Amino acid sequence: MSQLLLDVNGLTMRFGGLVAVNGVNLSVKNRQIVSIIGPNGAGKTTVFNCLSGFYIPSDGSVMFKGEQIAGLKDFQISRKGLVRTFQHVRLFSKMTVIENMLVAQHRHLNTNLLSGLFKTPSYRRLQDEAMDRAAYWLKEVDLLEFANREAGNLAYGQQRRLEIARCMVTQPELLLLDEPAAGLNPNETKELDELIIQLRDEHEISVLLIEHDMGLVMGISDHIYVIAQGTPLADGTPDEVKNNPDVIKAYLGEE
């Protein structure tokens, strides 16, 4: 049995009197694609915000690689290897594609001023490595030819892919994607679909996904959690979830 990468127990988030997320449990194993689905306003993004350190959960535990991360700051969590994207694209749109990729590796290029001024061998090696990694991932997402283009001028689908590539150069182990297919056309969605599967199968990372595109979710997920009004409703394989009467009720309403 593979070890749990992410193990969330009884996650609860209250804003004053409003309980946005109530006792959500979920777990992600190594090399797994897990999806969270639910009607609008179900609290899916709030769960993401709790996991990535945007909010400090009111209650519950978030174990990542066997370590409690609830309450850590967002940059600490991302340094541990849990990286997220947002519902809307948040690239550095005035910077070029390659600069976006290099900024993400800022931390790995940790050199002092002197070695930068004199371009010492170790500085050059780090810089070359960062450049190689950036080029590698740009190639993986088919953006290498646009490396010197301003990120804001890319097509929307390309910006989405660049965001994923930018996450990947930080060498995460778990990628949280918040509605990555929103606003994409069917063709772009298919490419994204392939990319996510590739991340799992070739790069051996796990993906936790929030998505409304049911075709995408059912096609690629290993496991699905359904939440409605902040409360867990069901979970299981795509087929189990598809045929669960509670899920159908939550999505379509009662007859």
Partner 1 sequence: MTETSLYLIQQLINGLTIGSTYALIAIGYTMVYGIIGMINFAHGEIYMIGSYVTFIVIAGLMSMGLVSLPIVLLIALIIAIITSSTYGWTVERVAYRPLRGSNRLIALISAIGMSIFLQNFVVLSQGSRDVALPPQISGGWTFGDPSVFEVSFSYMQLLIWLATFLTMAGLTLFISKSRMGRACRACSEDLGMTNLLGINTNKIISMTFVIGAALAAIAGLLLGLYYGVVNPFVGFMAGLKAFTAAVLGGIGSIPGAMLGGLILGVTEALTSAYFPSEYKDVVAFSLLVLILLFRPSGLLGKPEVEKV
For residue 5, list its beta bridge partners. none
Q: What's the Cα-to-Cα distance from 105 to each of 85, 98, 100, 114, 163, rounded to whole Å?
A: 16, 11, 9, 19, 13
CB of 200 to partner 1, least distance (A): 22
Q: For the window 170-189, what string marks contact with partner 1 as x by the rule CB under 8 A? A: x-------------------
109 vs 144 by CB, closer to partner 1: 109
Out of 7, 59, 74, 222, point to the residue binding partner 1 (CB under 8 A): 74
CB of 41 to partner 1, least distance (A): 17
77 vs 216 by CB, closer to partner 1: 77
| Residue 198 interacting with partner 1 (CB under 8 A) | no
Q: For the window 77-106, what string marks contact with partner 1 as x by the rule CB under 8 A? A: -xx---xx---x-x-xxxx---x--xxx-x
DSSP H stretches of helix in 110-234: 113-118, 121-140, 156-168, 186-201, 214-220
In angstroms, rounded to a whole number, what is the distance separating the alpha carbons of residues 207 and 213?
Answer: 16
Q: Which residue type is seen at 15?
A: F
Starting from the edge strand earliest in sequence, which strands make up the sheet with 206-210, in order? 82-84, 174-178, 206-210, 33-37, 223-228, 231-236
Residues 6+ apart with CB under 8 A from 203: 168
Considering only residues 154 through 173, tell me which ones interact with partner 1, judged by CB under 8 A. Answer: 166, 170
Q: For the window 29-58, what string marks contact with partner 1 as x by the rule CB under 8 A? A: -----------------------x------
18-29 and 4-15 strand pairing: antiparallel
Binding site for partner 1 (CB under 8 A): 52, 74-75, 78-79, 83-84, 88, 90, 92-95, 99, 102-104, 106-107, 109, 111, 116, 166, 170
